[in-house]
Structure 1
Amino acid sequence: MKSCLPPDPNPLKPAHALPAGACDAHCHVFGPGNVFPYAPDRSYTPPDAPYEGLVKLHDWLGISRGVIVQASCHGTDNRAMLDAIERSQGRYRGVAIVDGDVTDEALAQMDAQGVRGVRFNFVAHLGGAPDLDVFDRVLRRIEALGWHVVLHLDAQDIVTYAERIDRIRVPFVIDHMGRIRAEAGTDQPSFQRLLGLMRNPLAWVKVCGSERVSVGRRPFDDAIPFARALIEAAPDRVLWGTDWPHPNISKDMPNDGELVDLMFRFCDDAGLRERLLVTNPARLYGFEAI
């Protein structure tokens, strides 16, 4: 079983201040494993990255809010994420992983606790596509809650599952710019399909994970053309996040302060940054007005 590297313990102070209400729309909490055990069938083991570490990072970077996304290493045991949301007293929202056996009562309880969506992994190294009957069934059930679905895809999956994505009736969020490969350029079919997908009013995308899109060396500037194109395509349906603590990075561990500076380089218009960091996540995740 693969063990993950820890995040950079010394994030730089960003060169520019973030706006009030800025949201990290993609981050994780892991463990601590002696309190919230990792899933026995996990494909990787992360270093513990508990709530306290996330709060410390956000305070240092000037981030007001966050969305804690359940990761596959905890499976459908959402307790670490739910505990962090509860302790945050409104600062954080969550995205859960559930299976086909989840009850309506459990979904309603998570809604009351601050969960606003579910996530499905299609990524090959995390086990590949889910049971698509379960996928369809869960999406039908979350519709009444006003939730969305987060799709963690490999680039080719955007084409492979195009028909199924087109049938989705709830808002859906594509993680990490669809894990496009920068070396293939902006004309690659997967990215052109993703840009076309953004014409769907239900489609959202996270312009984060630059270290996953990039050929893999800081400061990951080769991801900039992709992020800019997605922001231009759907300025009211883009989100940004750190992806702290960066699980499964095997090339060059990002520095979270540098990732904030990178975001300023690919979104250099203050009005667009306000939408990316404040307005859009507040609308999707139901944060209170600042």
Structure 2
Amino acid sequence: MDYKKTPGWLDWHADPCKPRFQLPPGSVDAHCHVFGPGDEFPFSQERKYTPCDAGKNQLFALRDQLGFDKNVIVQATCHGTDNGALLDALGHSEGRARGVVTVKRGISDGELQSMHAAGVRGVRFNFVRRLVNVTPRDELMEIAARIAPLGWHVVIYFEAQDLPGLWDIFTAVHDDVATTVVVDHMGRPDVSQPVEGPEFGLFLKLMREHPNICSKVSCPERLSVVGPPALNGEQHAYGDVVPFARRIVETFPDRVLWGTDWPHPNLKNHMPDDGLLVDFIPHIARTPELQRKLLVDNPTRLYWS
């Protein structure tokens, strides 16, 4: 099938540098995607963007280049609820990948069991309206209740300014279904605001009051205002994101995950070097113990136990 990429679409970095930071053995890239290839795994007719192809072979090559041991592959919105590309990648990973899918309430118990056997461990719900049509609360609660006996968790993606209106939904999943909730990208804080400000404070309150809520401290390239390193090399990549991610890592060390977000969908101004993203890690997890929890212990417990 012949797809035309969304105008202005930036393809993934074809030649990332080798990270200077040496990842601890067993490290997991806990948030990445596969796109197609579109002629093998067609994109959804209801998608709000058309990406480049970025399949399993490229993902696994990046895993090895960066020094990760495993991946957690998250369903991309451009594939809707057809998880075929993700499941195919899991099937070719030799047990080195787990998955987070997108499903609708009509999915059968047999399909869920089959996905579990393939390595799926969570369902993602996206609340970013420019990317998807948001799942109704009753559907989210129904699906969350059905996956809880499998030991799966719920992944939620939202933007910081929307948290007050979504608070009751997220806490209901945590309290009523009693399953783990994983927040993508720290709830996308506005890093131009103070780390001590009320917006980020509300997210910290969400985590503090709900011990089954975890956060990915990922995607500095999406959140940053200052951007990648200056040409003179003196400015660290995405330094304005560091205080936010560091606060979460040091406050909730057993409830944090990290991922590349490869192949970085819908970025408009630059495409990050994934090697530099790995070099961001020791700035937010400053000790070997915190690095091991972030990259090895926490994702292994959540996805491979």
| TM-score category of the 2 structures, normalised to the smaller one | over 0.9
By how many angstroms is 1:188 displaced? 3.4
- In the other structure, the counterpart of 2:186 is 177
Q: 1:222 aligns with which of 206, 219, 240?
A: 240
Query: Runs of 4+ in structure 1 displaced over 2 angstroms?
Result: 1-4, 187-190
Q: Secondary structure at the match of 1:246?
A: coil
By how many angstroms is 1:209 displaced? 0.9
Whether the aligned pair in 2 keeps the contact of 1:216 and 1:252 (CA below 8 Å) is no
- Higher alpha-carbon deviation: 276-285 or 216-225: 216-225
- In the other structure, the counterpart of 1:115 is 120
- In the other structure, the counterpart of 2:277 is 259
CA distance in 1, matches of 2:164, 2:224: 20
Q: Secondary structure at the match of 1:120?
A: strand
**Which amino acid in the other structure matches residue 236 of structure 1?**
D
1:201-240 Cα offsets, whole Å, 9 max, x none, are 2100000011111115112111000000111121001000
1:84-118 Cα offsets, whole Å, 9 max, x none, are 01100100000000011111111111011100000
CA distance in 1, matches of 2:52, 2:218: 21
- In the other structure, the counterpart of 2:256 is 238
Give the percent of matched residue pairs that are identical in Structure 1 and Structure 2. 47
Structure 1 unaligned spans of 5+:
none
- In the other structure, the counterpart of 2:65 is 60
Structure 2 unaligned spans of 5+:
229-236
Q: Does residue 206 of structure 1 match 2:206?
A: no
CA distance in 2, matches of 1:188, 1:160: 18
1:47-104 Cα offsets, whole Å, 9 max, x none, are 0000000011110100000100001100000010000011001000000000111111
CA distance in 2, matches of 1:126, 1:216: 24
By how many angstroms is 1:130 displaced? 1.5
**Which amino acid in the other structure matches residue 223 of structure 2?**
V
- Higher alpha-carbon deviation: 72-81 or 157-166: 157-166
Q: Does residue 86 of structure 1 match 2:104?
A: no
Tell me the number of residue pairs that the alignment of Structure 1 and Structure 2 aligns. 287
Normalised to the residue count of structure 2, the TM-score between the two structures is: 0.91
CA distance in 2, matches of 1:260, 1:127: 29
Q: Secondary structure at the match of 1:182?
A: coil
**Which amino acid in the other structure matches residue 184 of structure 2?**
D
The root-mean-square deviation of aligned C-alpha atoms, in Å, is: 1.2
- In the other structure, the counterpart of 2:169 is 164
- In the other structure, the counterpart of 1:192 is 201
Normalised to the residue count of structure 1, the TM-score between the two structures is: 0.96
